[in-house]
Amino acid sequence: MALDGAELAAAQLPKLSLTHARLRDCNLSNAAAREADLARVAFERCRLTGLELTEGTLQDVVFRGCKLDMASFGFARLARVVFEDCVLVRAEFLEAQLASVVFEGCDLSGADLRGATLRSCELRRCTLGDLLGVERLRGAALQWPAIVENAGLWAAALGIEALEE
C-alpha cells in the first residue's frame, strides 16, 4: 500500500494496523494511534509532530526525514526500527522496549527515555542535549566522537562534578 500526501492531522486511529506500506509526505501530526501495529512500514518526509503511538508494536519500520517532535512511543515495542535524519525533539519513549533500533542523524534534544530498555541499539550523528533518562542508554552503541562530545551529559547522569583547574 502506498499513501502520498495524505492529511490525517489529529485523526483518531485506535489500533491502527499497517503492513507492507509506504507513507510519503503525509501529515499525521497529533494523530492518536494508540496500540498501533506497524510491520514493514516506511514513513518518508512525513509530519508526525505529536503522533501518539503509545502501547504500539513497530517491527521493521523506517522513518526517513520525518518530523517526530513531541511524538509518544510510551510503553511501545520497537524492533528493527530506523530513524534516519529525523527531528525527535522532546519525543517520549517512556517505558518503551527498543531492540535493534538505529537513530542516524537525528535530533533527540530533550527526548525522554525514562524507564526505556534499549538492546542492540545504535545512535549515530545524533544530537542528545537535555536528554532525560540518559542512564537508559545502557545497551546502546555510540560513535566515539559522540561519547566525548556528550561527556558532560554522562557526568551529570552519574552525579560527577567537574573540577576547576
Quote the CA–CA distance of 23 and 40 in Å, as a whole number.
11
Q: What percent of the chain has pLDDT over 70?
A: 100
Domain CATH number, residue 53 = 2.160.20.80
> Which secondary structure element, helix H or strand E, spans residue 155, and what is its range?
helix 151-158
Q: Does residue 20 contact residue 42 with C-beta atoms inside 8 Å?
A: no
Q: What does the pLDDT look like over 46-75, one tens digit per residue? A: 999 999 999 999 999 999 999 999 999 999
Q: What does the pLDDT look like over 18-48, one tens digit per residue? A: 999 999 999 999 999 999 999 999 999 999 9
Mean pLDDT, residues 124-151: 92
Domain total of the chain: 1
Q: Is residue 163 part of a domain?
A: no
Range of the domain at 12: 2-140
Q: Is residue 120 part of a domain?
A: yes
Instruction: Please state the φ and ψ torsions of residue 74, each to the nearest 5 degrees.
Output: -60, 135
Q: Is residue 152 part of a domain?
A: no
Q: Is residue 149 part of a domain?
A: no
Q: Tell me how many degrees the CA angle 117-118-119 measures, rounded to the nearest 5.
A: 120
